[in-house]
């Protein structure tokens, strides 16, 4: 059996003429039948394999479309929240999760900077306050609120009875099923899963297959999937992971005019001697993972911003 070296799409292969004769050759869009015997001059031909692109000609994957969160410092840090991907925003209690959530929903429902979109909030612990959301600029007419629990939230360090623990797991299961239905149905520009008040011990029991299913359901769509939580749970399924922490609180010794309108300041002095009023919160954001920054930055990038207290009547 004679052996000859032939050029196949720019790469030399050592093949015999009989072995080459067994390949079908695509010429001009027509598939030639397999040759039973080598034809004269076969060794001098150049075989072109279809759909084979050299690595030097491969193009970079285009960057995904992003949406702005409504917080300039956070947008400058992350470059926006990607569409068709899963984003995790984590942090302990009083770290600014709710402030970021309300700012994001306000930007999406009000159309900043483009056009308003429908949003869905899957509330696992029934902790969403519509009055506070409206005061923050959220258009409630464009928000679907999915309430998965009617029980009382667990305070930090509080021991939960076995019966309440079972209802908590039921609410978590309902939240996962509701999220799956929303992503499969489509039509939402933003889907938020609020697991911020779910204990970490319970949230860690979410199987990794659920996060993979969410990622597959949202990819190649224009939906932004955001999970609010105490710590990252989705592992490599998340394209962006942002950790929030409280840098300090802003206190005011003077009674705010907005507080007087609510009636809470009647009969009190303008400068209370026994305490001060919380007027804002300093928040620090840190990127733990970003697909646009080669998964995990070598040095964690951070940004600082502040939230302002709004009294909802």
pTM, 2 dp: 0.69
pLDDT at 229: 95
Residue 206 counted as domain residue: yes
Q: Name the more confident of 80 and 263.
A: 80
- Strand pairing of 3-8 and 11-16? antiparallel
Residue 82 counted as domain residue: yes
Cα 222 versus chain centre, distance: 12
Same domain, 93 and 158: yes
Same domain, 36 and 119: no
Residue 61 counted as domain residue: no
Q: 181 phi and psi, to 5 degrees?
A: -65, -40
Q: What residues make up the domain containing 99?
A: 66-308
Same domain, 45 and 96: no
Query: What's the whole-number mean pLDDT along residues 99-109?
Result: 94
Residue 313 counted as domain residue: no
Determine which helix (DSSP H) or strand (DSSP E) holds 210, and give its type and residue range.
Answer: helix 208-218
Domain boundary (35, 55, 75) is at: 55
Examine the pLDDT at 32 and tell me if it is beyond 50. no
139-193 tens-digit pLDDT: 999 999 999 876 544 444 455 455 566 777 888 999 999 999 999 999 999 999 9
Residue 116 counted as domain residue: yes
Among residues 201, 219, 217, 199, the alpha carbon closest in space to that of 209 is found at 217
**Are 171 and 148 a contacting pair, CB within 8 Å?**
yes
Residue 37 counted as domain residue: yes
Same domain, 105 and 187: yes
Examine the pLDDT at 286 and tell me if it is beyond 70. yes
CA-to-CA distance for 5 and 239, rounded, in angstroms?
A: 46
Same domain, 44 and 76: no
Same domain, 205 and 296: yes
Query: What's the whole-number mean pLDDT along residues 19-28?
Result: 49
Examine the pLDDT at 272 and tell me if it is beyond 80. no
Q: Average model confidence (pLDDT) for the chain?
A: 77
Same domain, 234 and 87: yes
Neighbouring CB atoms inside 10 A of 136's CB total 20
Proportion of the chain in helix, strand, coil states, percent, rounded to 5: 30, 25, 45
pLDDT at 114: 77
Same domain, 103 and 242: yes
Say whether 65 sits in a helix, a strand or coil: coil
220-253 tens-digit pLDDT: 999 999 999 999 999 999 999 999 998 766 666 5
pLDDT at 295: 45
50: confidence class by pLDDT, cuts 50, 70, 90:
low
Same domain, 106 and 19: no
Residue 195 counted as domain residue: yes
Determine which helix (DSSP H) or strand (DSSP E) holds 89, and give its type and residue range.
Answer: strand 85-90
Same domain, 30 and 94: no
213-229 CB burial, b ≥16 within 10 A, e <16: bbbebbeebbbbbbbbb
287-304 tens-digit pLDDT: 998 886 544 454 456 788
CA-to-CA distance for 39 and 205, rounded, in angstroms?
A: 65
CATH code of 201's domain = 3.40.50.300
Among residues 257, 259, 194, the alpha carbon closest in space to that of 228 is found at 194
Same domain, 46 and 13: yes
pLDDT at 35: 43
254: confidence class by pLDDT, cuts 50, 70, 90:
low
Q: Which two tokens stand for residue 148?
A: 């998965």
pLDDT at 117: 93
Residue 60 counted as domain residue: no
Q: How many domains does the chain have?
A: 2
Same domain, 208 and 296: yes
Sequence-distant (6+) residues with CB within 8 A of 297 are: 287, 290
Examine the pLDDT at 6 and tell me if it is beyond 70. no
Examine the pLDDT at 280 and tell me if it is beyond 90. no
């Amino acid at each position: 059996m004679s052996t000859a070296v032939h050029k196949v799409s720019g790469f030399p292969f050592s093949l015999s003429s009989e072995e080459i004769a067994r390949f079908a050759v695509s010429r001009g869009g027509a598939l030639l039948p397999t040759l039973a015997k080598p034809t004269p001059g076969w060794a001098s031909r150049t075989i072109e394999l279809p759909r084979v692109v050299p690595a030097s000609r491969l193009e970079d994957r285009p960057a995904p479309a992003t949406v702005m969160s409504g917080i300039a410092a956070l947008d400058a840090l992350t470059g926006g929240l990607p569409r068709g991907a899963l984003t995790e925003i984590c942090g302990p209690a009083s770290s600014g999760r709710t402030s970021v959530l309300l700012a994001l929903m306000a930007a999406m429902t009000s159309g900043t900077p483009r056009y308003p979109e429908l949003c869905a909030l899957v509330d696992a612990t029934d902790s969403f306050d519509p009055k506070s959301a409206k005061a923050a600029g959220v258009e409630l007419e464009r928000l679907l609120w999915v309430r998965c629990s009617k029980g009382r939230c667990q305070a930090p360090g509080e021991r939960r009875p076995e019966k309440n623990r079972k209802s908590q797991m039921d609410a978590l299961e309902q939240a996962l099923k509701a999220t799956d239905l929303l992503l499969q149905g489509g039509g939402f520009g933003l889907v938020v899963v609020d697991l911020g008040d779910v204990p970490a011990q319970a949230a860690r029991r979410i199987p990794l297959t659920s996060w993979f299913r969410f990622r597959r359901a949202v990819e190649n769509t224009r939906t932004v999937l955001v999970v609010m939580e105490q710590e990252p749970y989705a592992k490599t399924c998340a394209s962006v992971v942002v950790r929030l922490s409280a840098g300090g609180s802003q206190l005011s010794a003077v009674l705010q005019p907005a507080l007087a309108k609510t009636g809470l300041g009647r009969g009190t002095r303008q400068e209370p001697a026994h305490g001060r009023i919380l007027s804002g919160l300093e928040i620090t954001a840190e990127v733990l993972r970003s697909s646009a920054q080669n998964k995990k930055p070598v040095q964690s990038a951070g940004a600082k911003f502040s939230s302002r207290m709004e009294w909802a009547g």
